[in-house]
Amino acid sequence: MINGISINLYLLLSAVLFCIGAIGVMARRNTIILFMCIELMLNAVNLLLVAFSCLHKDATGQVFVFFVMAVAASEVAVGLAILSMIYRKKRSIDTALLQNLKH
């Protein structure tokens, strides 16, 4: 129990958030929505890391969350820079139009 809340509820919430993110990644074609869904999946994992860290009274999980958030922030910065360059060239952020970038 963490502050009166069972670890099972944290597991359930994290699983729901991760599934919403995974469905969003598979179903959507908008690149910004894809980035948001990836962030949702990362935050679901971060929630579990913090919950287990508090359950075991060890700060290692919380430190790992800090590094995951730093990597996620850099991923978003690079991804949005690439996205803005693609929008300048294609005038769309639809991922179906990005197949022509191979050539």
Residue 89 is predicted with a pLDDT of 79
**Span 41-80, pLDDT tens digits:** 999 999 999 999 988 888 888 899 999 999 888 988 898 8
Model confidence, pTM = 0.79
Residue with tokens 């894809």: 34
**What percentage of the chain exceeds 90 in pLDDT?**
40
Tokens found for residue 63: 């430190």
The full length of the chain comes to 103
Q: For residue 3, count CB atoms less than 10 angstroms from its CB and return exposed for 0-12, middle for 13-18, buried for 19 or more.
A: exposed
Query: What are the DSSP calls for 54-77, one per residue?
Result: HHTT-SHHHHHHHHHHHHHHHHHH
Given a cut of 90, is residue 19 above it in pLDDT?
yes
Tell me the domain boundaries of the chain. 7-98
Confidence of residue 22 (pLDDT cuts 50, 70, 90): very high
Q: Which CATH architecture has domain 7-98?
A: Orthogonal Bundle (1.10)
